[in-house]
């Protein structure tokens, strides 16, 4: 039987933790096209994703789940539509310690949801940091509908990443069963 592949997209602003989230659960080393950062503004980390991250979870002999991470910077937004095509759903990563990125996160969320009306959830990353905003405060800052789940997350911790993925899959299941209209 031909192997079927499905994909979930992980999006969010620059340095929100997309690559780390995929790395936490992928069974292969994350394939990412990273290069040294040249812009001063973006010198928060040494390298950043310029094309996409690519992780894999084999479900069984004939089903594979791919996790795609989008590049965070706005100049790569032309990639978002390409990546979103055919996805089951998407995760919007937000850096809980950087309120200056919340507006961008909301724009990314709206752009993705407008082009691909699939279920999504928001992962409030870096919740272990002292400066992290409370999850419910982030919900208000992002003007999220009460029906949209926002979950605390620490992208390098597999357990919280699992919870994020499961909650997205539950939202997808609800959609399949016709319970929600995201």
Partner 1 sequence: MALKGNLRDFSITQLLNLINLAKKSGALYIEGPSDIAQVFFRDGKLTYAQIGQQETSLLQLLLEANKISQTQFNLLTVRTNNLSDKEAGLLFVNSGYVNQSETFKVIEDYLSGIMRSLFTWLDGYFHFEQNELPPAEKIPVRLPLENLIVEGARKIQELDELRAEIPSLEMALKFVDRPGIDINHLNLSPEEWRVISYVNPKNSMQQIAQTTKLDDLQIRKVVYALLQAGLVEIIRPGGVPVALNGKVIPQMNHKEQKSLVDRLIGRIRSI
What number of other Cβ atoms are within 10 A of residue 76's Cβ? 17
Residue 4 or 33: the one with the smaller Cβ distance to partner 1 is 4
Burial class (CB in 10 A: 0-12, 13-18, 19+), 30: buried
What whole-number distance in Å separates Cα of residue 125 and Cα of residue 97? 8
State the greatest distance between any 2 C-alpha atoms of the chain, in Å, as a whole number. 50
CB 1, min distance to partner 1, A:
13
Residue 36 or 146: the one with the smaller Cβ distance to partner 1 is 146
Structure tokens at 123: 């992962």
CB 36, min distance to partner 1, A:
26
CB 34, min distance to partner 1, A:
24
CB 88, min distance to partner 1, A:
6
Structure tokens at 168: 């997205």
Residue 88 or 92: the one with the smaller Cβ distance to partner 1 is 88
Give residues in contact with partner 1 (CB under 8 A): 4, 6, 25, 57-60, 63, 65, 88-89, 97, 99-103, 107, 110-111, 113-114, 117-119, 130-134, 136-137, 140-141, 143, 145-146, 158, 162, 165-166, 169-170, 172-173, 175-177, 181-182
What whole-number distance in Å separates Cα of residue 165 and Cα of residue 121? 9
């Amino acid at each position: 039987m031909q192997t079927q592949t499905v994909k979930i997209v992980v999006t969010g602003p620059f340095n929100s933790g997309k690559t780390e989230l995929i790395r936490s659960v992928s069974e292969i080393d994350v394939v990412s096209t990273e290069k040294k950062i040249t812009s001063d503004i973006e010198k928060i980390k040494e390298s950043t994703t310029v094309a996409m991250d690519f992780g894999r979870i084999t479900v069984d002999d004939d089903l594979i789940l791919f996790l795609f991470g989008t590049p965070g910077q706005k100049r790569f937004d032309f990639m978002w539509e390409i990546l979103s095509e055919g996805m089951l759903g998407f995760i919007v990563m937000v850096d809980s310690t950087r309120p200056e990125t919340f507006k961008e996160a909301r724009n990314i969320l709206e752009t993705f949801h407008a082009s691909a009306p699939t279920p999504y959830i928001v992962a409030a990353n870096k919740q272990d940091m002292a400066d992290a905003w409370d999850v419910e405060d982030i919900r208000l800052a992002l003007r999220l509908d009460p029906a949209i789940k926002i979950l605390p997350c620490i992208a390098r911790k597999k357990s919280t990443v699992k919870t994020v993925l499961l909650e997205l899959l539950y939202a997808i299941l609800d959609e399949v069963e016709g319970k929600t209209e995201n």
